[in-house]
Amino acid sequence: MPEHVSPLMWIGVAVPAALTAACLIGLARIRRAVRIETARRPTLPRLPAVPHQSESGPRRESVELTPAERDAFVGLMRQLDEGH
């Protein structure tokens, strides 16, 4: 042990280090227990009153623009770009 380091300084390093290690070990055990408990939990049956939900969202809609509408849109984009 170096001369300039007092025993209280060593305790001040060792105690928080030991507490940190104990907390990490405890949290790892809790996490493992929760994971095992979740894996053992049976799946709940579906409710017959609730209809089956589709996995996809609504189909995408698009509209063809007339040449005048396209020109107006391009002009609007230019105005917004210049104002930025």
Task: Give alpha helix (H) positions in the chain.
Answer: 7-40, 67-83
pLDDT at res. 24: 96
Q: Which two tokens stand for residue 83?
A: 């104002």
Question: pLDDT by residue for the chain (84 residues), tens digit each?
Answer: 577 888 899 899 999 999 999 999 999 999 988 887 777 767 777 777 777 767 776 777 888 899 999 999 999 999 998 876
Decide: 73 and 65 in contact? Cβ < 8 Å. yes
pLDDT at res. 59: 76
pLDDT at res. 21: 97
Round to the nearest angstrom and report the end-to-end CA distance of the chain: 65
Domain residue ranges in the chain = 1-42
pLDDT at res. 13: 92
